[in-house]
Every structure is written in structure tokens, then in C-alpha cells.
Structure 1
Amino acid sequence: MGLDITVMERKDVRCPHCGEVITTVDVASTDSGGRLWYDFLERLGYYVPYEKRTKENDWYGKDMVLDNEQAKQLTDYAVKKEVYNWDGVEWIVTEALAHGNKVVINADW
């Protein structure tokens, strides 16, 4: 089984009265995959080899929200390594950062 990764732009929806976040909406997403992603995801702390996995660090199938620096590193890695659909990943991250939205990743291996 290979690695499948989804990169999403997620927007907070705020209450017009109090300004609190009431929900989130996925604005756009793109898919990628392949072995090239393991190195980046491991450095990020998202992918943990099975023998080192605990309940606290098991991200399998869960969404991870990246901060702006991690999102930029994601784009740099995708472009440099020319991962599958690297231009789609670059577009999602660029749009999310331009609009002040979050970049979220989800991977299954």
C-alpha cells in the first residue's frame, strides 16, 4: 500500500455577532502521493514509523493543521522533489496563505 496525501485550504467561519469560530470549511484540496513524502512527513512529526508509534503521536488518517512556516516548507519540498501533482500542492498553499486560511494535510499509508 502506498502513501496518499491530501493538502487542503481550510477557512474558519466566524459568528457575525461574537467573532468566535463556529465551524470550518474546506475551500479547496488536492491529492498527491508516493514514497517521496515519507521524509518530509516524518520531519514534520506527522508520519511516525510503526515501531515508534504511540497514542500521542499517531496521526494516521487524521488532519494536521500546519503553521505558516510549515506550509511554506511543504511547498518548497513538493516543488524541489517534484512530487506527484507538486503544482497543485503549491497552488493550494499559496492560495491559503494569501487568503489568511489554514493549510491542512491528511495522509494514509
Structure 2
Amino acid sequence: MALPFIAGLVVGSAAVVAYNNRNKLKEVVSDGIEKGKDVVSDIKEYAEEKVSKKEEPKEEKAVKEKEEPKKTTTTKTRKPRTTTKKTASTTAKTAKKPEEKDS
């Protein structure tokens, strides 16, 4: 039951520590942002190199045109269900049949 109180205490104390060390945190965050920008610019340059290599025209090989295979369509049909409504009289008849065979 004291979990919300404990969580509030932890969050509040973390806020106080962050406020007291705000100058150090600014430096750390700004360094992280600069590193992130460097990584993004490197990735951008690498991607541009790859794209420029792909855009260079290559020797086109003679490509044989493939003949389209003939499309055959088959339709599958289901057998109709043979359902009969069972009534009390038909169930009684079917129940008697196995007994009659045993005799």
C-alpha cells in the first residue's frame, strides 16, 4: 500500500539531485547530442555513397523475355451435404436396427 509513496519519494529525490547537478547534466547531454549528430552525418555520407554507386549505369545484359505460362483455372466443387432431419421416430428406428442385427 505504500508503493505510491515510495515511488513519489524516489522521483522527488531524483529531481532534486538533477537540479543540483544541472550544469554537469547539460554538458553530458550536449556531448551526447554532438556524438549523435556525428553518427548521423557519417551514416548519411555512407548512404549517399551507396546510392551514387547504384545510380551509375551498368552494362545491360541481354535479357530474354520469358514466356508467360498459360494460366489454367480449375474450379473445385464440394459435394452437397446430405443432411436429414432427425426426429424422434428416425432415431428410434436407427437405435432398433443394431439390436435386430444381433438377433
* TM-score bracket for the superposition, by shorter chain length: under 0.3
- More RCO (CA 8 Å, sep 6+): 1
- Over alpha carbons, which structure has the higher Rg? 2
**TM-score, length-scaled by structure 2:** 0.21
Q: Which has the higher helix share?
A: 2
Q: Which has the higher strand share?
A: 1
